Amino acid sequence: MEPSLSPIRSLRGHTDWVQEVVFSKNGNKLRVISTSDDKTVRIWEVETGEHENLLDGHASGTLGLAVSTDGRRIVSGMVDGKIIVWDADTKGIIKCLSHHTMRVDCVRFSPDEKRLASISSDGTLKIWDAETWEVVFNIDDHQDKLWTVAYSPNGTKIASGSFDQTVRVWNAATGKQQTQPLSHGAAVRSIVWSLDSRRLISACDDGQIYFWSAPTGAQLGSALRAHSNAINLLAISPDGELIASASRDHTARLWSTSTRKPFGRVLQHASTVCTVAFSPDGCLVATGGGEHTIFLWDISQEIIMTSVVSPTFVSPAPHITSYIDQSSANSPPALDELLDGAGFPSDTVGLHDAATLSSPYLLHRDLSNFETPTAVRTPPPVELSDGIQVPPETVNSRDAAASPSPSLPPQRSSYPQIVTASASTPVLASPPKSFWKRFPMFNRSAASVDFKRWKFPHIGSIIAGIGMRDPMIPSISRLIVHIFTSCYSCHPWFYHMYCASLTQPS
């Protein structure tokens, strides 16, 4: 059973399924606005949890929802294909748009709020002038009903997702298609944009999340197996570092956009989760669905539990030499501890916690993965149910500035394990290798060195004998053998210097 977060508040009042929720801030007041199959739009005050207003008068269930930045205009799409524009202050209807012929599941304002995009199961995408409420242009290129639409943050593009298993990107000014259709393996339910407008993130009925390059239409890496059932909606945090997914598998989950790893605990429900939204400060998440209730979740504690992970590629040699050269005053770990797999001390710590975290110990798994991640506090490993694909090295990190970006294919090699001084450190699945054995060049005993490669076998025998006569320093003798081998192969005069040193009196 995977750990789940507990909601801090439940907003009750709807009598049927909650279809969509949006946070809205007007002055110092933070509100949640919701649509429902009970044919109403409701407004809630977050601080008190009180039901503040009710927008009634819909002839059918309410689905899609958009709210202006100032919170004064609310747009709701309905099952009967109509769109109603509301004045939030007077609770009066500004305009009723009836151009769609089937249910309107998604409506979105453009970033400058001068236009409104709407999609419908009638297979059309319509762009409206938000002042005159006239249709600017109509797009019907999809081959099946549409389910989602999203403006890019810079306002130049519009993306639409359909049951024809494609996402299409359009020029927001002309309505012309920008790229080839982005093909998926199932119906596309939701789309969000990265804050720089260069990447698209889409979710499907197959429970997977896809990452795309908006300029080229290329898929960025493999799809993320996020849920065991269809994903109904995606939301992206205000800082662009998290995405939230709501699913029919009765969960909502948080993911890091930079690492594509699960973030924090699961938001568990008793029924299908239809919608999810972030608050303007990114500290709260609202969800709703088949329980007829809106749940508020405080994810700020999940954020505090993490720090930055910033892998960089470095050579192991400086770490080796710096460790050997450390003075005893620095109290380095004993050689026996290194041989038992404790690893080298690293001076790199999390950027947010540099003043408080103790130096971690870096465990290299193989020679091809020389990365130096910063320290990170992680909760115990989570084993997810229902076949959800979660890598065993899951890192709850929101600030993975230099971690693999969605713009790059995910690497098959896993990140190095990190051991911290915390008592809550998870136990590794298998005993780590001793330090020297992590480097292939040190994996042999000194006595096993191939002396045929030496022009002067006597020298190899002398050095190998160090390790055989003195069992306390076998690893040091191996190091000497290989350093000597490298030096001699490049500088033959090194041999003559060594012979001269052997003949000098001690």
Residue whose pair of structure tokens reads 């938001």 in the numeric block: 267
Q: Are 117 and 124 in contact (CB under 8 A)?
A: no
Neighbours of 143 (CB within 10 A): 12
DSSP H or E stretch at residue 336? helix 335-339
Phi, psi (5° rounding) for residue 222?
-80, 155
Neighbouring-strand partners of residue 25: 30
Interval 159-214: pLDDT, tens = 999 999 999 999 999 999 999 999 999 999 999 999 999 999 999 999 999 999 99
In this predicted structure, the answer to whether residue 223 has a pLDDT above a threshold of 90 is yes
Q: Which DSSP string corresponds to 348-393?
A: ---STTTTTPPPPEEE--STT--B-PPP---PPP---STT----TT
Q: Which residue has the higher pLDDT, 497 or 66?
A: 66
DSSP H or E stretch at residue 498? helix 493-503
Helix (DSSP H) and strand (DSSP E) numbers for the chain:
6, 31
Q: Round to whole Å and give the CA distance between 364 and 440.
A: 12
Q: Round to whole Å and give the CA distance between 275 and 46.
A: 17
In this predicted structure, the answer to whether residue 85 has a pLDDT above a threshold of 90 is yes
Interval 238-279: pLDDT, tens = 999 999 999 999 999 999 999 999 999 999 999 999 999 999
Q: Are 39 and 62 in contact (CB under 8 A)?
A: yes
Neighbours of 340 (CB within 10 A): 14
| pLDDT confidence band for 498 (50 / 70 / 90) | low
pTM beyond cutoff 0.85? no
pLDDT given at position 418: 35
Q: Which residue has the higher pLDDT, 63 or 474?
A: 63
Q: Round to whole Å and give the CA distance between 432 and 411.
A: 22
Phi, psi (5° rounding) for residue 490?
-95, -30
Q: Which DSSP string corresponds to 459-476?
A: HHHHHHHHHHH-TT-HHH
pLDDT given at position 42: 97
Neighbouring-strand partners of residue 67: 74
Neighbours of 277 (CB within 10 A): 22
| pLDDT confidence band for 505 (50 / 70 / 90) | low
pLDDT given at position 243: 97
Residue whose pair of structure tokens reads 């199932």 in the numeric block: 186
